[in-house]
Amino acid sequence: MKRTLFSLLALFSLLTAAADEGMWLPSLIASRIDDMRAKGFRLTAEDIYSINRASMKDAVVLFDGGCTGELVSPEGLLLTNHHCGYDAIQRHSTVEHDYLTHGFWARSRQEELPNKGLNVRFLVRMEEVTDRIAAGETPEEIIRRAEAEGEGYKASVEQMYYGDQQFLFLYEQFDDVRLVAAPPSSIGKFGGDTDNWIWPRHTGDFSVFRIYASKENKPAAYSPDNVPYRPKKYFTISTKGFREGDFTMIYGFPGNTQEYILSDAAEYIATQSDPAKIAIRDGRLEIIARAQESDPALRIHYAAQRATIANAWKKWQGEVLGLTRRKTVETKRQREEAFARENSRGAELLREMKAEYQRIMTPYFAREITVETLRALPAKYTDEERAEAVFPARRETERELFRWLFGEYARRCPAQYQVPVFLDGVARSGSPETFAEEVFEEVWAGAETPLSDSLRNGSKRMLDHITWLLGTDRLRNLTSRRLNDLYRGYVHELRTTWPDHPYYPDANLTLRVAYGAIAGYEYADGEYHTPLTTLDGIIAKDNPEIYDYDIPQALRDLYASKDYGRWGVEIDGRRTVPVCFLASNHTTGGNSGSPVLNARGELIGINFDRTWRSTMSDIAFDPTICRNIAVDIRYVLFVMDRIGGAGYLLREMKIK
């Protein structure tokens, strides 16, 4: 009896959305509004999401297909993270005009820089279409009809709860998005990979763009005749500050969570998948770091690539740490045992799911290793790359990357799933590294590369074969078609067996609301982390000998003079500038750039990260340690005004 009671309590604790847990669909936010208001929210569900009048959703965009941005002026001015705009900033940077290092501040609309291929999407509406699909209407038909409703409309049908519900998401896409401002990387990426996912944090992770439209305010391809977009809604900015415990809300596009997965999948992530991918990226990062240290041009060239590789690399390390310390696998296993005792249909589903996991783990692991190694290498170098002055200097770095990744593929990919062309090449040449040299020389030469083509085509065929084995091409997570069907029934049983417990669908890059509070946390026994950092912490870390900690002299001068203007505040008897803060909102990748709002729906910060152990929240949210990290809007405005000399941009905004 005691064991059953303990197991049920464990089950309830995992099923119940805790005070700050959840990624809620905006169109259904009315079901959460009482809880939000009890925690301090002062507005209504209609203020958050409405299709009849302007609401917060009209001030939030999906930025560049993987981040979030928010509108802050009636002239299309948009804020997002520096790391979300990083590719655009890098593409405009040269050794002569190094915007990554020195920052960029357009002094007029004419100086704002267009970005080919960069777009933003506003959500027009979302609606459940489960019944329409059950009645025989296909998702393609639903999408086609929706996109015909307006100019620049894009639509998708997305699954919730593994397909137990289906929703249409209709967007308006704008393709003329121009870079307006970016701080120096020593502010926007302060701390670099060392501080990534870490608290305390002192990163001014923001960049500024502007959306342009036709004179009719409609989506349009880039043209000098386009004008700034006039949004239905933009956020008021609050500089009044906050206290620990104050309500916060995040509105954005979280990318991928797996809150309902079984212990089998959590164990695979913590003990097999993440450790292997971390080790592979260890080597890539070491090779790239040496190249960057050897040549300023290589530093710029590899900047975005290194940041992309390092971001997931460090995230996976925190995920393993969090899952291990919080004993997530064990807790999930207890939940499964309790559920099986309570629900006979659930017990049968669990048996089938665990059997399916055993079937798919090895081929899925092979897929992950192939993607991390062979598929991470260039198939060829373009004419544009050949024209770059840095091209000859890259040769030895690229050769070393080929050698490392071929070796890792040979060592880690299960033998039965290795590409036949690869196996033949290694057997003929004597080692993976020697074969890598042979393939690299063909690719580098830029001529026809039959060996490289054969290898790439072979790896694609193997990935296609694994996809066939798994029965689905939705392979962001360890899954299969059969497993997805079983999860649909499993989650349905959970929701019907305990209907009074709140459930939310896993993140899938659709617009969501998360809410919580400004909150510190106990990192370790006797070590409490307060939820705010300041300019004093930046100065303490400042080191001119380390690129990621070498702040602009202007920032040192402002600190010395304390000439902070309206952005200075008194904290514990000293005058300083707030920089970053912690909150307990449930976030993940894709929430980068999301607006952090106070109880009145005013912008107080820009979300950009989580604490290291919080990365486990993709699998299991723990309200005691899971925290999101945001840059304080007062620091954003301070940098724009006092470092960038871009006070003219502030005049567009509504600042309180």
Q: What is the pLDDT of residues 105-131, one digit of tens each?
A: 999 999 999 999 999 999 999 999 999
519, amino acid identity: A
Q: For the residues 248-268, what does the mean pLDDT come to? A: 97
Q: Is 240 exposed, middle or buried (0-12, 13-18, 19+ CB in 10 A)?
A: exposed
pLDDT of residue 19: 52
Residue 390 CA to residue 243 CA, distance in Å, equals 49
Residue 183 CA to residue 201 CA, distance in Å, equals 17
String of b and e for 428-456 (b: at least 16 CB within 10 Å)?
eeeebbebbeebbebbbeeeebebbebbb
Q: Is the CB of residue 251 less than 8 Å from the CB of residue 511?
A: yes
CA-CA-CA-CA dihedral for 145, 150, 153, 158, to nearest 10? -40
Q: Is the CB of residue 62 less than 8 Å from the CB of residue 120?
A: yes
pLDDT over 90 percentage in the chain: 84
Whether 205 is catalytic = yes
pLDDT band at 6 (very low <50, low <70, confident <90, very high): very low
Whether 592 is catalytic = yes
Residue 203 CA to residue 191 CA, distance in Å, equals 7
What are residue 432's phi and psi, to 5 degrees? Answer: -60, -40
Catalytic residue among 185, 459, 592, 594: 592
DSSP tag of 587: -
pLDDT band at 62 (very low <50, low <70, confident <90, very high): very high
The yes-or-no verdict on residue 1 having pLDDT over 80 is: no
String of b and e for 566-587 (b: at least 16 CB within 10 Å)?
ebbbeeeeeebbbbbbbbbbbb
Beta strands 153-160 and 176-182, pairing class: unpaired
Rounded (10°) angle between helices 303-325 and 274-294: 150
DSSP tag of 655: B
pLDDT band at 524 (very low <50, low <70, confident <90, very high): confident
What are residue 606's phi and psi, to 5 degrees? Answer: -120, 120
Catalytic residue among 205, 264, 548, 622: 205
Catalytic residue among 7, 73, 83, 87: 83
CA distances from 540 to 200, 549, 554, 581, 636 (A): 12, 10, 16, 18, 20
Residue 108 CA to residue 129 CA, distance in Å, equals 46
Q: Which stretch of 429-433, 498-502, 578-582 has the lowest confidence by average pLDDT?
A: 498-502
pLDDT of residue 500: 80
Q: Is the CB of residue 158 less than 8 Å from the CB of residue 169?
A: yes
Whether 294 is catalytic = no
Q: For the residues 330-354, what does the mean pLDDT come to? A: 95
Q: pLDDT digit string (tens) for 369-388?
A: 999 999 999 888 877 777 77
The yes-or-no verdict on residue 5 having pLDDT over 50 is: no
pLDDT of residue 493: 95
The yes-or-no verdict on residue 9 having pLDDT over 50 is: no
pTM higher than the cut 0.75: yes
CA-CA-CA-CA dihedral for 407, 413, 416, 422, to nearest 10? -30
pLDDT of residue 15: 42
Q: Which residue has the tokens 């996912």?
A: 197
CA-derived radius of gyration, the chain = 25
Q: Please, how many CA atoms are within 13 Å of residue 228, restricted to the half-sphere of its CB?
A: 20
Q: Is the CB of residue 206 less than 8 Å from the CB of residue 606?
A: yes
pLDDT of residue 12: 42
Residue 406 CA to residue 99 CA, distance in Å, equals 35
pLDDT band at 18 (very low <50, low <70, confident <90, very high): very low
599, amino acid identity: A
Q: What angle do CA 578, 562, 544 make, to 5 degrees?
A: 80
Q: Is 501 exposed, middle or buried (0-12, 13-18, 19+ CB in 10 A)?
A: middle
Q: pLDDT digit string (tens) for 164-174?
A: 999 999 999 99
